[in-house]
């Protein structure tokens, strides 16, 4: 049963289209910077409708459009509409009643709307609608400085928008290590012209002619700025308004409660993905869905493993992390060692003129890797060596003594681990 587009957020209006747009921005940015390598790039430009067409092609290739035909070829019946429980074994879809022995709830999450005066009265962009605009705004105010907000800030600023991004926390990407925030804020300021408004709370928005005025509080000052567009990227909330109480399922606004096997309080009903509310990543949802499907079909029960969940922010340089952050270790009162290797010390950085980035490794006192952060080209790929290391309790020495090809970005991982 699907209330929106088959395949859900990731292939239709999440990871896939965003990644396609960010790749186009990366190519454009690299082309503009080609002169440093002897490439004549002074006249490089872009056509944003063509960029959008590329994004649409990427979505079609992701298989979202053919999902229904695929499911039906597998003997799976597809229903379009919103499902609502009316009893533990029965749902309604567009006034049609269906019953089943088992259910898997994977309703995902929806946009969290911050409490901002006037936001419900003026048009604004969301992470979904911003994917379909026909030209980048001349100026945009982004509410929310997490991964989504930072990615849109990078995207729009690369294509020439003046970007303001507000985050209530003291730094952008507050879930990452301090060093990441410092790097991103410095690059945004010096290379992208992005105004990073940390420790800032947006309190009011209003129309002002064809523009929009955003008022925010920073410190003890009330400040306002006029922009062409406002983008709300303040996070998501699990979609739990589906009659769960009629099925006897325990839940809160923060998500459905499940046991280690992803069973809800109604033992024949399982849940997976963003609707659980704890780790909203597509790769987590994929693992949970496989676990839930297995547990519905088999007597021996599996449990998802959240020990090593990679997190990636697709900007330049890419940001990737896994395991515990330094803040996590401090909160848990863990005794740790840490080491950082700047990316510019390795051969690959020299051959590409890359100056910004680092690899940071955190271990316990026995040398077992607890967490890692990479800010570098291809960080999203590099992080999986350390994901595997954390998953299997490897030490920094295990990684350092593993041969890493020269010249590759992965050498920075070896260097950081060798310091421990």
Burial class (CB in 10 A: 0-12, 13-18, 19+), 366: exposed
pLDDT by residue, tens only, the chain of 420 residues = 999 988 889 999 999 999 999 999 999 999 999 999 999 988 899 999 999 999 999 998 887 656 777 888 899 999 999 999 999 999 999 999 999 999 999 999 999 999 999 999 999 999 999 999 999 999 999 999 999 999 999 999 999 999 999 999 999 999 999 999 999 999 999 999 999 999 999 999 999 999 999 999 999 999 999 999 999 999 999 999 999 999 999 999 999 999 999 999 999 999 999 999 998 999 999 999 999 999 999 999 999 999 999 999 999 999 999 999 999 999 999 999 999 999 999 999 999 999 999 999 999 999 999 999 999 999 999 999 999 999 999 999 999 999 999 999 999 999 999 999
**Residue 46 and residue 50: Cα distance in Å, rounded?**
8
Sign of CA dihedral 316, 322, 328, 334: negative
Angle between helices 379-391 and 411-418 in degrees, nearest 10: 40
Distance of alpha carbon 151 from its chain centroid, rounded? 9
Give all strands of the β-sheet with 369-376 in edge-to-edge order.
311-313, 318-323, 369-376, 358-364, 336-342
Widest pairwise Cα distance in the chain? 69
Q: Are strands 195-198 and 162-167 parallel, antiparallel or unpaired?
A: parallel
**Residue 277 and residue 73: Cα distance in Å, rounded?**
32
Distance of alpha carbon 121 from its chain centroid, rounded? 28
């Amino acid at each position: 049963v699907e209330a929106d587009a088959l395949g859900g957020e990731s292939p239709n209006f999440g990871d896939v289209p965003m990644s396609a747009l960010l790749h186009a921005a990366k190519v454009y940015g690299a082309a503009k910077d080609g002169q440093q390598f002897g490439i004549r790039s002074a006249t490089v430009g872009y056509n944003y409708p063509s960029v959008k067409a590329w994004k649409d092609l990427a979505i079609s290739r992701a298989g979202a459009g053919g999902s229904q035909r695929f499911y039906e070829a597998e003997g799976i019946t597809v229903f379009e509409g919103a499902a609502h429980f009316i009893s533990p074994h029965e749902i309604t879809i567009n006034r049609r009643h269906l019953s089943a022995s088992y259910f898997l709830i994977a309703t995902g999450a929806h946009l969290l709307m911050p409490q901002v005066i006037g936001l419900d009265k003026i048009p604004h962009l969301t992470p979904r609608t911003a994917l379909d605009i026909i030209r980048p705004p001349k100026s945009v105010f982004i509410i929310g400085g997490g991964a989504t907000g930072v990615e849109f800030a990078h995207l729009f600023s690369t294509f020439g928008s003046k970007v303001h991004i507000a985050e209530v926390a003291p730094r952008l990407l507050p879930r990452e290590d301090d060093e990441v925030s410092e790097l991103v804020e410095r690059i945004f300021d010096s290379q992208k012209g992005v105004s990073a408004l940390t420790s800032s709370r947006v309190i009011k928005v209003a129309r002002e002619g064809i523009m929009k005025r955003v008022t925010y509080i920073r410190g003890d000052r009330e400040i306002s700025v006029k922009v062409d567009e406002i983008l709300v990227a303040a996070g998501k909330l699990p979609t739990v308004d589906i009659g769960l109480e009629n099925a006897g399922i325990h839940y809160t606004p923060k998500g459905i409660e499940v046991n280690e096997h992803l069973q809800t309080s109604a033992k024949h009903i399982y849940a997976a993905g963003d609707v659980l509310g704890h780790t909203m990543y597509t790769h987590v949802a994929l693992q949970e869905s496989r676990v839930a499907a297995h547990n519905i079909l088999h007597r021996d029960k599996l449990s998802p493993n959240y020990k090593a969940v990679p997190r990636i922010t697709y900007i330049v340089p890419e940001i990737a992390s896994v395991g515990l952050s330094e803040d996590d270790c401090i909160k848990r009162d863990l005794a740790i060692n840490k080491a950082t290797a700047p990316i510019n010390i390795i051969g690959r950085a020299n051959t590409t003129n890359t100056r910004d980035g680092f690899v940071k490794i955190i271990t316990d006192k026995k040398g077992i890797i607890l967490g890692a952060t990479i800010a570098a080209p291809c960080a999203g790929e590099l992080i999986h060596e350390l994901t595997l290391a954390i998953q299997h309790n490897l030490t920094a020495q295990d990684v350092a003594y593993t041969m890493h090809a020269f010249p590759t970005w992965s050498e920075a991982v070896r260097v950081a681990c060798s310091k421990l």
